[in-house]
Amino acid sequence: MKKKRKNSRRKKKRDLGKTALRIIKNRLFQRALVFAVLVLVVSASGIYLYGLVKRELSLRCFVIAGNTHLSDREVINLMKIKRGSSLLELNSVDLKRQLLRSPWIKRVLIRKELPHTLIVKIKEASPVAILKKKKELYLVDIEGTLLERIKESPSFLPVIELKSGNRRLYRETLLLARVVKSMDYFNDREILIVGKRPEDISLVVDGLLIKVGSGDYTEKLRHLIALSDRIKNFKIPVEYVDLRFKRKLIVRPVKRLGSGR
């Protein structure tokens, strides 16, 4: 009985050996084996070459252009590029997305210059005014975006003080601020733009109240500038100047005590 079992086992081993030998001798199997070896060699070579090229294209130089408010270092930090990165693995779309998270950056162009340089061209926001909000000051652009909180008010920008959260009112005061900023007449003057409603928007220029109203800001302020010398020549104190009526400028003198007016 034991001999039969041993013989049976030996026979099975011989059969398996013969089957394996037939498989190895089979041409299809031989071709598959050669193909697998080739794939393994090519993959290993590809991994090696990728690592080699990655090292050869290591990022070593940044060229930053178009930034005036943000420093080069601030722009680089915004991209969050890891130390030792390669141009091969940097994704321009991701870098652009990172940069556009800053309210100061409006447009971005990124270009890789082989072998070691990343060129970043940006278009920064331009502040048109300072928004006074809850006793704090913010630089804002023409779209009303809060760019940065500041401690002091620069003399070259008008200050906006709103008495309500009306969106149209905010938009109109920004348009007025842009016109004021573009005119040399208002340089080095203290400018305050005050608004409760769009139709009641006013300028305070060096303490003089000027009622502007809504719209036609360029025309109204040009009219004011053209007649500014005449206003200065008045021998009576001026309470306010009214520009709200088309093609008219009204000068309201300060009421005198006991005048009955």
| Digit-coded pLDDT (tens) for 138-162 | 999 999 999 999 987 666 799 999 9
pLDDT > 60? residue 20: no
Domain positions in the chain: 61-124, 129-253
d(CA 36, CA 78): 46
CATH code, 61-124: 3.10.20.310
pLDDT value of residue 49 = 47
pLDDT reported for residue 55: 60
End-to-end Cα, the chain, rounded Å: 137
Fold (topology level) of 129-253: Rossmann fold (3.40.50)
Alpha helices in the chain (DSSP H): 2-25, 27-56, 72-79, 92-99, 167-182, 217-226, 228-232
